[in-house]
Structure 1
């Protein structure tokens, strides 16, 4: 008897970057097809080119309806958007073509998920400037998903195996952060983190909340956000039954997370959460001049649909060369499959 496999839509991101290549490389792994049914949202010709660049022996099956998908290893099913002339692709460059194509891939993936045709969406890397050059005024993937799903309360979580970090704020100027760290926002992110951990299969989760200031404010000596906003949010979460503690000094909380004391950390701002996560998941060899590991997944919490993503950018310097590392894409697809399977326990066996 075959196990149930969720359908995962994969939007490849900017065709001028490494997204199509790492998608092709990820789908060259048989285990992906054991865990899910992947459907790539792209242009069929872009994926034919990506297969060549990646050096993998895979066929392309263009479809306009998911009923025509094979979902079999060796064949990449592509929802053919027919919106890119591959002759006009400029690898490694910010272009209106790349921005428009990547935006339309995202919108299609969201629609398929909202319509119930796919169980989750995994996104490849986009370039924010290219998206805006194409006339779409968004600061990133998360904001697009929130807008197109009419979601107000959401947050970003980065995941590298058992190292999970969610964020109270992300793409804002640092001088704006203290004003955005409110009791209501911190409490919401704690709640979203707790719900996500359950969906990821973590039973009886234990969450830590980082302080905003050095030494978590040192009892108000270095700032009062911990006393007036963060601490009260934690107390309210505890009263509601969530196992959470803090605020903990940000220079030690991630060490404890890595050591297994916590299942996730709630970080106050972008770099507070991103730097430790990438230090854990990314490995760079300066002598070899290459990345040995590019692991980690970006998950948007609070949406009515499941969305995971690679935890890196378009890597324009590697685009078109066949040297891109697919590790983060593989992790993102697999996590989407886990979350979708737990959310949709009545999936048909296949």
Structure 2
């Protein structure tokens, strides 16, 4: 069986992206899961490979066809290239934002052409990205713009727990109005599809409350009564294995105990605080789905403070690449 071809973007060149990509792709087990083609600056990837002492030969390619098959080689398709000696690691600069965006665009074009079936994206810095003149709020929104097809949504995975927030990057005061029965139900349906594609069993989903103590019977808010519980009942009627509302402070402990493989949470930090605490010991990933190809990235930033010092851990990047390979072609 042929391995999927995965585009791996180098991310913000002044951050840890190039070195964690280089280090991850030296792993022999990872190279058995896919044929990776790095989308980035070949000169910088050469420097990154030397930094991590990975020993792979950097080969510049013009196409993804046939790329990534040799585990002794790191194939790089040029995008986001910078002039020699231009890079200043650990600094903010519009040029780094433009380079990262160019890598994303090229990866999407490869996916549109059918040359790759998934994308693993190293982190880029949103401030540098916006300094370059881009208006998209974040990387998921930018990938959605580049694909210009589908409706992107975010899923996270850590320690075998799959999460998705009903709301994403919005002001906290806007959250209650965005938590609707239809929105909660849509997230239950999409997360169930992801769990089954990932072969997570049993595909049981816990739907997390919005308010403290699940609203305490309406004392602290009625969203659980008027919105979340009706969405759960509708999901059960449709045949989904779903429970809740689950108290927010118990959701991750219950999932770690094995009660749930998936959690539908009401807002970004409700999902990410738990994911990041658990992820200190076990690498996790973030997924942008709903587009023609899955995009998987790491739940951390560019780490300018340690960039290009050989200190960055690559385990999350390796998981991102492996997850992109596992979900490629699954219609997510």
Q: Assess same fold via TM > 0.5.
A: yes
Corresponding residue number in structure 2 for 1:289: none
1:299 aligns to what SS in structure 2?
strand
Equivalence for 1:347: none
Aligned residue for 2:31, secondary structure, equals helix
CA distance in 2, matches of 1:331, 1:99: 24
Aligned residues: CA RMSD: 1.6
Q: What are the residue-to-residue correspondences of 1:194-205 with 2, within 5 Å? A: 194-205=192-203
User: How far apart are the structure 2 equivalents of 1:334 and 1:68?
Assistant: 19
Residue of structure 2 aligned with 1:81, choices 66, 73, 79: 79
The answer to whether the 8 Å contact 2:162/2:195 transfers is no
1:263 is aligned to: 261
Runs of 4+ in 1 over 3 A off after TM superposition: 150-154, 341-344
Partner of 2:118: 120
Partner of 2:182: 184
Kindly state the Cα deviation for residue 241 of structure 1 after the two structures are TM-superposed.
1.3
State the match for 2:65 in structure 1: 67
Q: 1:183: Cα distance to partner?
A: 1.2
Alignment counterpart, residue 309 of structure 1, candidates 297, 312, 316: 297
Q: SS at the partner of 1:129?
A: helix
Q: Return closer, same or farther for 1:333/1:158 CA change in 2, 3 Å cut-off.
A: same
Shift in Å, 1:204: 4.7
Counterpart of 1:111 in 2: which secondary structure? helix
Task: Give the Å deviation of 1:304.
Answer: 2.4
Q: Distance between the aligned counterparts of 1:4 and 1:21, measured in 2?
A: 27
Count of aligned pairs between the two proteins:
332
Change (3 A) 1:192 1:343: closer
The answer to whether structure 1 residue 323 and structure 2 residue 323 are counterparts is no
Q: Does 1:252 align with 2:250?
A: yes
- How far off is 1:155 after superposition? 2.1
CA deviations over 1:159-218 (Å, ceiling 9, x no partner): 113122111112111111111111111111111101111111124510001000001111
After TM superposition, the structure 1 = structure 2 runs for residues 206-217 of structure 1, keeping only pairs within 5 Å, are: 206-217=204-215
Distance in structure 2 (CA, Å) of the matches to 1:261 and 1:235? 19
Residue 341 (structure 1) shift = 6.2
What is the Cα deviation at residue 153 of structure 1?
A: 3.8
Return closer, same or farther for 1:194/1:82 CA change in 2, 3 Å cut-off: closer
Q: In 1, distance between residues paired with 2:80 and 2:252?
A: 45
Q: TM-score, normalised by structure 1?
A: 0.91
Aligned equivalents of 2:229, 2:302: Cα separation in 1: 38
SS in structure 1 opposite 2:231? helix
- 8 Å contact kept, 1:5–1:341: no
Match of 1:221 in 2: 219
Aligned to 1:140: 138
2:29 to 28, 31, 48: 31
Question: Closer, same or farther in 2 for the Cα pair 1:72/1:90, shift >3 Å?
Answer: same
What secondary structure does 1:219 align onto? helix
Instruction: Name 2:128's counterpart in structure 1.
Output: 130
Partner SS for 1:35 = coil
How far 1:6 moved relative to its partner?
Answer: 0.7
Q: 1:99 to 1:261 in 2, by over 3 A?
A: same
Question: Residues 151 and 290 of structure 2 are in contact (CA less than 8 Å); yes or no, is this contact kept in structure 1?
Answer: yes
Alpha-carbon deviations, 1:25-44, whole Å to 9, x = none? 00111111111100000011
Query: Are 1:300 and 2:318 matched, yes or no?
Result: no
Whether the aligned pair in 2 keeps the contact of 1:44 and 1:82 (CA below 8 Å) is no
* Separation in structure 2 between the aligned mates of residue 4 and residue 342 of structure 1, nearest angstrom: 15
The change in CA–CA distance for 1:129 and 1:194 in structure 2 (over 3 A counts) is same
Partner of 1:339: 327
Shift of 1:149: 2.5
Q: Is the 8 A contact 2:9 2:104 kept in 1?
A: yes
